[in-house]
């Protein structure tokens, strides 16, 4: 059993929640870019979530979870001092950072929760980091102070202009490139469509571009095949071959189609949670 030692909602919309969880073995080995799989109880589904931070001395791991489906909605109802049944990891490969001097780390929405620890690790290693963060609106902004501290420049935008610039992350990155800023690498994490279009922004410039993929996962060990993605015409398993992949090689259309596969089921499951919680849940 794994104890929740801290719980904090990160945005006004209360769609993204930070959990610090007692898991000494995971904390000992975790690196930026990796993920864990949690299960609330014996009957719970296995849900992957990226590692957002760790404290090796305290033996705790931080995750930031968007209320995006049945299991994540249930996790949002868990309180400090409660326990969850499984917290397995770290899984997947850590983000490669060797030899980098200047990078753009791009996060879209909850993707910033994954992008932030990568930016932080790079910044601490002395890599110059331009952090580009995009959100739907002011109510959905997360980690602004943390991202500012973890980067050389923080460039922010919202889709509706209710906070920072009214701009998508694709526009913000394009402006940097058109202004002549040179990056060794662009790392993008967010919705499939955002990553797809960001890959097209960097392609003409020939900038190596990495995306962190988070498809549906079950076992997280390369056995079930649920997390398969097409990269460069080959089938890869995000849980063991990734989650980082070359953005210019990923078949995003297939990724997005597979990601939507369980939407009807999730909506049905969430109706039951809304009944249980008095209909207060937001879909973020
Ligand atoms: S989650 Fe089963 S193969 Fe990756």
Instruction: List pLDDT tens digits, range 166-183.
Output: 999 999 999 999 999 999
CATH number, position 73: 2.40.30.10
- Listed in sequence order, the residues at least 6 apart from 18 whose beta carbon sits closer than 8 Å to its beta carbon are 6, 7, 8, 9, 10, 52, 62, 63, 64, 65
265 and 233 within one domain: yes
State whether 20 and 81 are in the same domain: yes
For ligand 1, residues with CB inside 6 Å are 217-220, 222-227, 237, 239
Sign of CA dihedral 217, 29, 119, 84: positive
* Domain extent for 266: 213-271
pTM for the full model?
0.86
Which residue CA neighbors atom 2 of ligand 1 most closely? 224
Is residue 280 scored above 90 in pLDDT? no
Residue 272 confidence (pLDDT) above 70: no
Q: What token pair was written down for 62?
A: 């931080």
pLDDT digits (tens, 9 = 90+) for 53-109: 999 999 999 999 888 778 788 889 899 999 999 999 999 999 999 999 999 999 999
237 and 166, same domain (yes or no): no
CA of 228 to the centre of ligand 1 (A): 7
Q: How many angstroms is it from 186 CA to the middle of ligand 1?
A: 26
Same-domain status, 73 and 42: yes
Where are the extended beta strands (E) located within the chain? 2-9, 16-22, 35-39, 47-55, 60-66, 83-84, 86-91, 102-108, 128-135, 153-158, 165-166, 185-189, 209-212, 228-231, 234-237, 244-246
Q: Decide if 281 is inside a domain.
A: no
Within this chain, do residues 10 and 106 fall inside the same structural domain, yes or no?
no
């Amino acid at each position: 059993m794994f104890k929740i030692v801290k719980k904090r909602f990160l945005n006004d919309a209360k769609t993204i929640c930070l959990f610090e969880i007692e898991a000494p073995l995971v904390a000992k080995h975790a690196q930026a870019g990796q993920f864990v799989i949690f299960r609330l109880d014996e009957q719970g589904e296995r849900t992957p979530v990226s590692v957002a931070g760790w404290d090796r001395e305290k033996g705790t791991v931080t995750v930031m979870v968007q209320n995006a489906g049945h299991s994540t909605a249930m996790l949002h109802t868990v309180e400090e001092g409660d326990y969850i049944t499984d917290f397995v990891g770290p899984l997947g490969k850590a983000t490669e950072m060797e030899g980098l001097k200047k990078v753009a780390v791009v996060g879209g929405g909850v993707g910033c929760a994954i992008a932030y620890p990568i930016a932080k690790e790079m910044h601490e290693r002395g890599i110059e980091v331009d952090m580009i963060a995009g959100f739907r609106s002011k109510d959905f902004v997360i980690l602004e102070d943390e991202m500012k501290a973890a980067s050389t420049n923080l460039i922010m935008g919202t889709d509706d202009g209710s906070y920072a610039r009214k701009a998508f992350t694709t526009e913000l990155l394009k402006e940097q490139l058109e202004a002549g800023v040179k990056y060794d690498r662009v790392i993008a994490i967010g919705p499939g469509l955002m990553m797809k279009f960001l890959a097209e922004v960097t392609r003409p410039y020939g900038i190596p571009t990495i995306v962190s993929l988070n498809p549906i996962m079950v076992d997280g060990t390369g056995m079930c095949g649920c997390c398969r993605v097409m990269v460069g015409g080959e089938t890869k398993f995000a849980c063991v071959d990734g989650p980082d992949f070359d953005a210019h090689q990923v078949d995003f259309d297939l990724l997005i189609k597979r990601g939507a596969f369980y939407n009807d089921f999730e909506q049905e499951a969430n109706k039951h949670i809304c009944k249980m919680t008095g209909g207060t849940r937001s879909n973020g």
